[in-house]
């Protein structure tokens, strides 16, 4: 295990400022999935989606050596860092669906306009990851934009950052934990730690809150992160079930 003091001071402070916080939700009555997705201020929702996470983890792990660093210059240009670099360590990715396997950013960073206009495709990674591809095809998207494996090495981190300035309002990502080593942390500013467990999916408003991740464990952590145009008809039961439940954020029976 890595000691917290081995991580950047900005990340240590972010952890201490947010670790004991928990989000609060007072559900608005009779709201559909589109309102909850686009207009509510929820930081995340637990989604009850069956996930073959062990098989997907094995597929993802076979691509670790091909993953590239997530060096988002604009992403880390923020006052939370207070000029402290490096901004990440061991935080790498590869696309299953995207412009190409190593084009992990939004389309406008590569000269395209609206996300619907970007020529996203199944990459060669998908050809070798059939279970992951099938899972992605089952998600409630009208159109899938990007889907990528993202790893965090032991002792790795991504310093506090927020989503793209050009992102759509309340843009949300389905983030799936393919594994969850004890000692991995994912915190949102003013909200607290997201309660992960292997196979769990969360719908996260990562473009609305500063957030940071770090891995104190001795095991690589791998998630599957997806973005797309929601299919609200298919998303309806998933969002409704979570939003109006007694455990919308997934803390019940969770061990930090």
**Domain-located, residue 192:** no
Least confident of 139-148, 166-175, 223-232: 166-175
User: For residue 212, what are the β-bridge partners?
Assistant: 187
Number of neighbours of residue 85 by Cβ within 10 angstroms: 10
Average pLDDT, stretch 240-248? 95
Alpha helices in the chain (DSSP H): 9-18, 33-38, 53-61, 124-127, 130-138, 232-243
Total structural domains in the chain?
Answer: 1
**Domain-located, residue 99:** yes
CATH number at residue 50: 2.60.120
Residue 64: name the closest of 188, 172, 148, 164 by CA: 148
**Domain-located, residue 91:** yes
Residue 66: name the closest of 144, 132, 151 by CA: 151
- Report the pLDDT value the prediction gives residue 164, as an integer from 0 to 100: 59
Q: Can you give the residue range of the structural domain that contains 111?
A: 31-181+199-211+219-243
Global pTM value:
0.92
**Domain-located, residue 104:** yes
**Domain-located, residue 188:** no
Predicted confidence (pLDDT) per residue in 47-91, tens digit: 999 999 999 999 999 999 999 998 765 444 444 444 444 588 999
């Amino acid at each position: 295990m890595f000691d917290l003091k081995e991580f950047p001071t900005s990340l240590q402070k972010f952890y201490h400022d947010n670790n004991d916080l928990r989000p609060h939700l007072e559900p608005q009555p009779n709201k559909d999935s589109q309102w909850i997705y686009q207009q509510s201020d929820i930081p995340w929702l637990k989604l009850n989606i069956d996930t073959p996470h062990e098989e997907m983890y094995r597929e993802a792990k076979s691509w670790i050596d091909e993953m590239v660093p997530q060096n988002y210059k604009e992403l880390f240009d923020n006052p939370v860092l207070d000029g402290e670099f490096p901004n990440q360590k061991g935080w790498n990715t590869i696309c299953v669906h995207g412009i190409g396997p190593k084009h992990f950013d939004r389309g406008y960073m590569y000269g395209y306009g609206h996300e619907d206009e970007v020529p996203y495709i199944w990459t060669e990674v998908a050809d070798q990851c059939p279970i992951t591809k099938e899972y992605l095809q089952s998600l409630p998207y009208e159109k899938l934009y990007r889907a990528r494996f993202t790893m965090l090495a032991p002792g790795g981190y991504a310093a506090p950052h927020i989503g793209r300035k050009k992102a759509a309002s309340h843009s949300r990502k389905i983030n799936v934990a393919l594994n969850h080593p004890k000692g991995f942390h994912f915190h949102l500013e003013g909200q607290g730690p997201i309660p992960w467990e292997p196979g769990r999916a969360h719908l996260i408003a990562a473009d609305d809150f500063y957030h940071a991740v770090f891995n104190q464990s001795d095991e690589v952590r791998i998630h599957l992160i997806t973005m797309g145009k929601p299919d609200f008809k298919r998303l309806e039961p998933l969002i409704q079930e979570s939003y109006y439940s007694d455990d919308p954020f997934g803390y019940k029976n969770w061990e930090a």
